């Protein structure tokens, strides 16, 4: 019989609701507490999500005093770092929603704390569980492209700017780069085996977010809504990375991997003003190679999966706790994403290439 895993949820917004619904499907998991800084909000969440045995707290520190195996951190970006540190030091395993942190230094401290305490730090990137994403990684890791020397990643929404905490630098740390750009980075870096980033030369802007014609909160909008960067990776690989929340264009193009033996082009699924980001679906995959001296384009069948990607990541986290497995999506990997985003913002501000320095763990 499976050991009962006791979980706490910190934050009680829409993302927290998705975590709760996933946990409820596992007979070996009990959500025993919910915390939210807004008085009464955690209690209302418990009632609305039907968690009758869960306790409500207005302070996550009180939740962490309970006998818990792990927590889901579903709060705004700016608090990911401090709550993760508190939870790890309290002896709890952690799944934190993306982006991992606001700054690279915060991410480094989170990883160091996880290693010091011996507790799991996993970051919520549900597109990893798309079988098409897994097929892309397998194809590259199996060597079918030969030596990959160039990758082009990113996505763009024609009109897909969020509001609230997403558009304030003091709360989110970054804009489009952190919000949807982190998915693009994980897709490419994971497929390549997570080579370490070395340098970044970047440009960012926010012409749409700061224009009242395009955004109702333009007066407080102070993050980037567009960014583009050239990133040098270990292994003599160049990554072109571009992201947009809004633009006068339908797409920023596909994701591409160029190898010495073949190339791979991948398009995101969906159409319309909010589509174009790598948030969970693949539209098409095509392999470009030579057969008997002839240029050949081979479509790769798309797997139309029925699984809920968001639930899959929560299930994997719970199973890792239950079976004492390593973090499904370890902070050590996602730290590379954070380092690139940090480098993009530094390079854009300095208007020159900057070096990325990540400690060896």
The string of pLDDT tens digits covering residues 266-277 is 998 888 888 887
Percent helix, strand, coil in the chain, to 5, is 35, 25, 40
pLDDT at 1 (0 to 100) = 55
Q: Return the minimum-mean-pLDDT range out of 69-83, 188-202, 280-294.
A: 280-294
**b/e map 51-78, b = 16+ CB within 10 Å:** beebbbbeebeebbeeebbbbbbbbbbb
Q: What pLDDT, in 10s, does the model give residues 150-172?
A: 999 988 899 999 999 899 998 88
ω before 99 within 30° of 0 (cis)?
yes
Give the DSSP letter string of 229-278: EEEEETTTEEEEEEEESB-SSS-S--EEEEESS-EEEEEE---STT--S-
Q: Is the pLDDT of residue 361 over 90?
A: no
Phi and psi for 176 in degrees, rounded to 5?
Answer: -60, -35
pTM for the whole thing?
0.93
Read off the pLDDT band of 345 (50, 70, 90): very high
The pLDDT tens digits of the residues spanning 250-271 come to 889 999 999 999 999 999 888 8
């Amino acid at each position: 019989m499976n050991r009962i895993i006791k979980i706490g949820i910190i934050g009680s917004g829409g993302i927290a609701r998705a975590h709760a619904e996933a946990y409820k499907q596992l007979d070996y998991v009990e959500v025993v507490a919910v915390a939210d800084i807004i008085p009464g909000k955690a209690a209302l969440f418990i009632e609305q999500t039907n968690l009758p045995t869960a306790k409500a707290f207005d302070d996550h520190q009180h939740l962490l005093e309970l006998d818990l195996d792990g927590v889901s951190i579903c709060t705004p970006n700016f608090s990911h770092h401090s709550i993760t540190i508190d939870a790890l030091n309290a002896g709890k395993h952690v799944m934190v929603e993306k982006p991992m942190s606001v700054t690279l230094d915060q991410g480094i401290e989170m990883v160091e704390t996880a290693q010091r305490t011996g507790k799991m730090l996993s970051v919520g990137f549900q597109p990893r569980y798309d079988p098409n994403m897994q097929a892309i990684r397998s194809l590259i890791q199996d060597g079918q492209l030969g030596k990959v020397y160039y990758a082009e990643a990113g996505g763009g929404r024609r009109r897909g700017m969020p509001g609230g905490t997403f558009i304030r630098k003091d709360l989110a740390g970054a804009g489009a780069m952190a919000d949807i750009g982190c998915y693009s980075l994980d897709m490419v870096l994971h497929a390549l085996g997570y080579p370490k980033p070395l340098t970044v030369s970047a440009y960012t802007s926010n012409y749409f977010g700061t224009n009242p014609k395009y955004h109702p909160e333009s007066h407080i909008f102070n993050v980037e809504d567009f960014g583009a960067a050239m990133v040098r990776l270990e292994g003599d690989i160049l990554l072109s990375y571009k992201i947009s929340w809004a633009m006068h264009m339908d797409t920023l193009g596909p994701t591409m991997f160029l190898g010495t033996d073949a190339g791979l082009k991948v398009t995101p699924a969906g159409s319309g003003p909010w589509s174009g980001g790598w948030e969970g679906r693949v539209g098409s995959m095509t392999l470009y190679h030579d057969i008997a001296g002839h240029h050949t384009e081979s479509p790769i069948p798309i797997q139309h999966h029925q699984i809920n990607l968001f639930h899959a990541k929560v299930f994997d986290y719970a199973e890792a706790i239950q079976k004492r497995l390593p973090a499904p999506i370890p902070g050590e990997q996602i730290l590379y994403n954070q380092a690139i985003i940090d480098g993009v913002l530094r390079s854009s501000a300095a208007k020159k290439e900057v070096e990325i320095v990540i400690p060896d763990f």
